Amino acid sequence: MEHTIRHLAEIRRFETIVEGHIAYVDYDIKDGTLVITKTFVPKPIKGRGIAGELVATAYAFADEVGLRRAATCSYAATWLARHS
């Protein structure tokens, strides 16, 4: 299922609202690399692939603007290992 994901560049976040709950990915940009630092999905909406959609969207943005991909967040690091 695809959700509407917004890029909030001013706070370095990608987020979506599902059933009133905010899920998000926070990132930083360092030395030409987009680093996902946190992935958060509230318990009531976990298990629906939302975290994966958020991470994929953040890395698609990185690709579009010519940034490398990295993660300090364990979820995003695992996602990278599976999708690289």
pLDDT in tens, 28-79: 999 999 999 999 999 999 999 999 999 999 999 999 999 999 999 999 999 9
Domain ranges of the chain: 6-83
Cα-based distances in Å from 20 to 45, 69, 78:
10, 30, 27
Indicate whether 1 pLDDT > 70: no
Q: Residue 42 in 3-state DSSP?
A: coil
The residue-averaged pLDDT of 6-30 equals 97
Shortest CA distance to 53 belongs to which of 26, 16, 10, 82? Answer: 16
Shortest CA distance to 57 belongs to which of 76, 41, 81? Answer: 76
Q: Domain 6-83: which topology?
A: Aminopeptidase (3.40.630)
Indicate whether 20 pLDDT > 70: yes
The number of residues making up the chain comes to 84
